[in-house]
Structure 1
Amino acid sequence: MLTIKQERGVAKAASAAMLSILAFYRKNITDIMPPNCRFVPSCSKYMVEAIETYGAWRGFILSAWRVIRCNPTGGAGYDPVQWPPVGYKAGSFSS
């Protein structure tokens, strides 16, 4: 069993790993893809903010839910990071 201090270290390491993968993606992959984001902020920016704000586990949940909603039947528009996760059609074009 891990101590609380060890659990925090694992959580920080997981967050750092996720953020480094996102940094690589944003630096090397998004430049070659056309901009076609349904939401503001973009999904990758949303993921970074979610992980920095809520940690690896909740940030992953919020990010996965955002990607699932990113389709023609899901929401669109301004969608800030917030816990608990918003509804499927959440997002609006007004800030």
Structure 2
Amino acid sequence: MTPALVQPHFPHPRTLLGAARVTLEQAEGRHGQHLQARAAMRLGYVREARAMWERMAREDDAQAWFELGRLAQSGLGEGADAAQARHCFAHAARLGHAEAASRRA
């Protein structure tokens, strides 16, 4: 693991999960971006994960809208907001996300 791979705003613990986070920083494409956001969440970087999903949601990514709904529903990083969660789940469902369709009801 070279220090050049570690972004200064993402310090990570010296754990297997931290090593996975560093490895995922080089992942490409939309799937790689989702993996990076999930790794950030698992490491406790909720704001960073939210920012990643918000960028993807601006490009109408159904999974990103679903993840933002889960964040709003759970209150991670901010207070729980049921109305915002419903909005995110509805948007994800319109984009074809099956699980979001079942959660918006």
Specify if TM > 0.5. Answer: no
Structure with higher RCO (Cα < 8 A, 6+ apart): 1
**More helix as a share of residues:** 2
